[in-house]
Structure 1
């Protein structure tokens, strides 16, 4: 388990992380989501003892990271795949990690197989690796000590679609065996298919958190009827916000509420359901828009 309580980090007069509190539970994948610059990486660096917090604290398995004995055997960390030693081979990187943790070299062979790095690739220098290969190596290093907790910052960067699918399957099976996974990303759709819980951060503050199902319910409803203009008017008359879409309407109201209003006004519904992933992504973008570096054109 990871427990983060009132974690805050200030640099001079700038507050990079502001009173962040959440938990990542065993047997579940927690998606830590926010735009670039929202404070995700700073939070993870504080969790793993690399950056001292201004206030608050984070514990992993009930202890601060620097209180763990042989931490690599308990917590697997990937914060920056590009930070690996470019002059060493992939096998050398893992072998040094294994020796540091008191593991045998047979574990290195196991991990190379798990992450899909072939023997010839393992003999190449990391400086010659693609970003996707570095990510696989970094994930392998995090898994090396067979830890109970994984903390991964943007692990999908550089992976092709097949690699992303592989990563999702790997982390899903890890959680199903009782492991705790904290996975950061600035793109919701990368983690939506794997995450059980979501923590959304913007400008260093938590803006929404909960299970994926809870947040999907809050993503609103999509509806399409034989007369969408009449349905929109009926909903607005009931003080329910409405947004017209290419395929009908979107509203923050629950499906049952939309259905009742349609029935009361004699409007035939063709489609009615929770907004799902698209609505969740719209919510995510709206909640974090003020912190996004992307400019609408």
Structure 2
């Protein structure tokens, strides 16, 4: 279990993370989402004890990460696949990890096989690894100590479609066996497929959290018509919100049945009418974070 309470990190007057609170339960995958610069990576670094919080607390399995005995045996972390010594081989990196955690050397071979790095690849220097190979090695290192919790920041970055599908199955299987997974990724479709719960952050604050199914079903209604402006005016007159939808049409908080009645009353022809949640996580994410997106700023 991961528990974050009023976690805040300030740099002078700037709050990179501002009073964030959420929990990640055992047996679940929680998608941690937000636009560039939202504070996701800073928050994950505080959970892992790499960045001290200005205020608030973060615990993993009931303790701050730094207080866990032999933390790699309890928590697997992948925050930056490039943060390894380029002059070492993949096998050497895992072997050093096994020595530090007090593991048997056979665990190295098991993890290399699990992530699909063959004997030849495991003997290459990291400087000769592709990004996808680095990610696989990082996942192997995170799983090396047979942890109960995984904290992963963009683990699918650089993986090909087959690799992404493999990783999806790996995380789902880990959670189904009682593990706890906190997953940050910009690959929204993959998060939608694998996640049970979602935490969405924008400009350092949580803008939405809860069960994925509940958040998607509450995303409102998307409608396309032969006269969007006329229907938008009618919806607003009836007390409903009406904004341009991602990809065209109107997004409203009215139910589909209410939209249909208002359109009939005002003689507006509908060409599409559906709950916004059926368009998936991407549309909901863009709606929630439209005011917070900051292109070109690191997360």
TM-score (norm: length of structure 2): 0.88
Structure 1, residues 134-159: CA drift from partner, whole Å, max 9, x if none?
Answer: 01100110011111100001111111
Residue 276 of structure 1 corresponds to 277
Residue 239 of structure 1 corresponds to 239
Residue 88 of structure 1 corresponds to 88
In the TM superposition, residue 166 of structure 1 has moved relative to its aligned partner by: 1.3
Residue 294 of structure 2 corresponds to 293
Structure 1: tracts of 5 or more residues without a match: none
CA RMSD of the aligned region, Å? 2.5
Residue 151 of structure 1 corresponds to 151
**Structure 2 CA distance, aligned partners of 1:229 and 1:15?**
39
Residue 20 of structure 2 corresponds to 20
Counterpart check, 1:30 vs 2:30: yes
Residue 53 of structure 2 corresponds to 53
In the TM superposition, residue 281 of structure 1 has moved relative to its aligned partner by: 2.5
- Name the SS for the 2:173 alignment partner: helix
Residue 209 of structure 1 corresponds to 209
**Structure 2 CA distance, aligned partners of 1:8 and 1:36?**
18
Structure 1, residues 211-259: CA drift from partner, whole Å, max 9, x if none?
Answer: 1112112321134679878765653442323356678643222234335
Number of matched pairs: 295
Residue 218 of structure 2 corresponds to 218
Residues 293, 222 of structure 1: alpha-carbon distance in 2 compared, 3 angstrom cutoff: closer
In the TM superposition, residue 268 of structure 1 has moved relative to its aligned partner by: 8.3
**Structure 1 CA distance, aligned partners of 2:233 and 2:203?**
36
**Structure 1 CA distance, aligned partners of 2:201 and 2:49?**
20
Residue 258 of structure 1 corresponds to 259
Residue 113 of structure 1 corresponds to 113
Residues 233, 7 of structure 1: alpha-carbon distance in 2 compared, 3 angstrom cutoff: closer
**Structure 1 CA distance, aligned partners of 2:20 and 2:37?**
15
Matching of residues 123-138 of structure 1 within 5 Å = 123-138=123-138
- Name the SS for the 1:82 alignment partner: coil
Determine if contact 1:219/1:280 at 8 Å carries over to the other structure: no
**Structure 2 CA distance, aligned partners of 1:176 and 1:32?**
19
- Name the SS for the 1:216 alignment partner: helix
Determine if contact 2:175/2:181 at 8 Å carries over to the other structure: yes
In the TM superposition, residue 203 of structure 1 has moved relative to its aligned partner by: 1.3
